[in-house]
């Protein structure tokens, strides 16, 4: 379609995606299907960097795909597949790793943060080369646009540098140089207990998380226990009132209402009222969402067929790119 090719993916590193993944990424992916030629991937090779149990990884890969489908990713219009089903990702990553400076990779702030936590023996070479594999994911498909959050900007910059390097070493047109696709209206969701850090499935405590597959009762309880502030006023002010503002953001995004109209509705009411109503809104969203996930998970062979068909279509696009790169690099 006219908008150009889009590639995006998420790691199957938890049993459930969280609400930030849904509001910040999945809803955007679904909308982009109308205007772009979209490829959505479950990046299981990336998930190996955290050393998962094999059975758990396989289950999480399926569950992640089921959540993409439940959110509205449509395999009839988009390519939906699992990264490890297309071996070209790992093959292109090797070539790119031979074009990446050791210091250049070492400057990635996400690597610096994660490796500082894990220590040098706990940090794998895979974690170090992770952004190179991400570049391969993108460049294999002649991707024009990559929807990215702020946290992935530096990695996308590396993908662009590597694309330009391939083209200058091996000739123009070897690969397409991707651009970031930033949608400003995308909601950024924060942790319910620590509303200045983003909600993340790798959070240390689950209490600040809204997990898409959690028991709605647990979710409602977490919302009612969300950190707010010592005032009473329900007002959108992310700097002074990050907790309340985060609740308003979630409320607006899931109900389709505007933040000012919510502010005026809750004028004179307490935080308890806001939390109770928000819990209802979230549960009303989660209940049918979880029903759809259960439907996809209840027939693993149908799900596997969808993913196999997606991998085949992905491979048809990846093969000529890899052949071109192999040929031009003397392999």
276's CB contacts (< 8 A; 6+ apart) are 224
Q: Which stretch binds ligand ADP (CB under 6 A): 16-24, 255-263, 275-283, 290-298?
A: 16-24
Q: Of 198, 217, 275, 276, which one is the catalytic site residue?
A: 198
Choose the binding region for ligand ADP from 111-119, 199-207, 223-231, 269-277 (rule: CB under 6 A): 199-207
Given the residues 55, 112, 114, 221, the one annotated as active site:
114
Token match 């040929």: residue? 327
The answer to whether 199 is annotated as binding is yes
Query: 197: phi > 0 → left, psi -120 to 50 → alpha, else beta; which?
Result: beta
Which of 188, 257, 315, 328 forms a contact with ligand ADP (CB under 6 A)? 188
Query: Counting contacts by CB under 6 A, is residue 238 touching ligand ADP?
Result: no
Q: How far apart are CA 243 and CA 233, in angstroms?
A: 12
Which residue's Cβ lies closest to ligand ADP?
A: 24
189: annotated binding-site residue? yes
Q: Which is nearer to ligand ADP, 75 or 147 (CB)?
A: 147
Q: Is 198 a catalytic residue?
A: yes
Does 201 show up as a binding residue in the annotation?
Answer: yes
Query: Would you say 70 or 199 has its CB closer to ligand ADP?
Result: 199
* Long-range contacts of the stretch 324-327 (C-beta < 8 A, 24+): 324/174, 325/92, 325/95, 325/166, 325/170, 325/174, 325/175, 326/95
Residue among 279, 247, 276 at smallest CA distance from 263: 247
**Closest to ligand ADP by CB, 197 or 264:** 197
Which of 18/143 has CB closer to ligand ADP? 18
Bridging pattern class, strands 37-42 and 5-10: parallel
Q: Which of 55, 112, 117, 201 is catalytic?
A: 201
- Choosing from 133, 136, 189, 303, the residue that interacts with ligand ADP (CB under 6 A) is 189
Question: Could you give the CA distance from residue 268 to residue 235 in angstroms, rounded to a whole number?
Answer: 11
User: Is residue 24 part of the contact set for ligand ADP (CB under 6 A)?
Assistant: yes
Return the residue of 6, 7, 21, 317 that touches ligand ADP, per CB under 6 A: 21
Calpha distance 322→315 (Å, rounded): 10
Buried b / exposed e over 257-287, threshold 16 CB at 10 Å, is eeeeebeeebeeeebeebbebbbebbeebbe
Question: Which residue intervals of 184-258 are DSSP H helices?
Answer: 216-224, 242-255
- Which residue among 20, 52, 208, 242 contacts ligand ADP (CB under 6 A)? 20
Residue 149 contacts ligand ADP per CB under 6 A: yes
Establish whether 241 is a catalytic residue.
no
Is 201 annotated in the active site?
yes
CB of 32 to ligand ADP, least distance (A): 12
22: DSSP letter: I
Per rule CB under 6 A, is residue 201 in the interface with ligand ADP?
yes
Kindly state the DSSP code that residue 177 receives in the 8-state scheme: P
Q: Nearer Cβ to ligand ADP, position 24 or 243?
A: 24
Q: Give least dist CB 28 to ligand ADP, A.
A: 8
Closest CA to 306 of 89, 42, 80, 77: 80
Residue 119: CB atoms within 10 A of its CB come to: 8
Binding residues: 11-13, 20-21, 137, 149-151, 189, 198-202
| Contact residues: ligand ADP, CB under 6 A | 10-11, 18, 20-21, 24-25, 149, 188-189, 198-202
User: Which residue numbers are catalytic?
Assistant: 114, 198, 201
Binding-site positions for ATP: 11-13, 20-21, 149-151, 189, 198-202
């Amino acid at each position: 379609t006219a908008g150009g090719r889009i590639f995006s993916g998420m790691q199957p590193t938890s049993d459930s995606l969280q609400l930030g993944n849904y509001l910040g990424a999945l809803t955007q992916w679904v909308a982009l299907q109308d205007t772009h030629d979209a490829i959505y991937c479950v990046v299981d090779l990336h998930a190996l960097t955290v050393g998962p149990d094999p059975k758990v990884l396989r289950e999480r890969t399926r569950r992640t795909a089921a959540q993409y489908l439940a959110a509205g990713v449509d395999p009839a219009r988009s390519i939906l597949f699992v990264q490890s089903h297309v071996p070209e990702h790992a093959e292109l990553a090797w070539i790119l790793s031979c074009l990446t400076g050791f210091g250049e990779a070492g400057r990635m702030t996400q690597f610096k943060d994660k490796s500082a936590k894990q220590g040098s023996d706990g940090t794998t070479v895979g974690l170090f080369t992770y952004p190179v594999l991400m570049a391969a994911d993108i460049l294999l498909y002649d991707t024009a646009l990559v929807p990215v959050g702020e946290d992935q900007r530096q990695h996308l910059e590396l993908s662009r540098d590597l694309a330009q390097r391939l083209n200058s070493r091996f000739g123009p047109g070897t690969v397409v140089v991707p651009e970031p696709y930033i949608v400003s209206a995308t909601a950024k969701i924060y942790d319910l207990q620590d509303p200045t850090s983003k909600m993340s499935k790798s959070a240390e405590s689950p209490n600040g998380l809204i997990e898409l597959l959690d028991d709605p009762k647990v979710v409602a309880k977490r919302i009612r226990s969300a950190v707010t502030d010592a005032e009473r006023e329900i007002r959108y002010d992310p700097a002074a009132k990050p907790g309340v503002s985060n609740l308003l953001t979630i409320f607006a995004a899931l109900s389709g209402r505007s933040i000012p109209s919510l502010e005026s509705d809750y004028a004179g009411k307490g935080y308890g009222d806001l939390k109770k109503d928000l819990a209802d809104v979230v549960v009303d969203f989660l209940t049918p969402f979880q029903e759809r996930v259960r439907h996809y998970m209840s027939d693993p062979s149908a799900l596997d067929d969808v993913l196999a068909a997606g991998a085949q279509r992905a491979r048809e696009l990846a093969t000529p790119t890899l052949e071109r790169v192999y040929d031009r690099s003397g392999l």
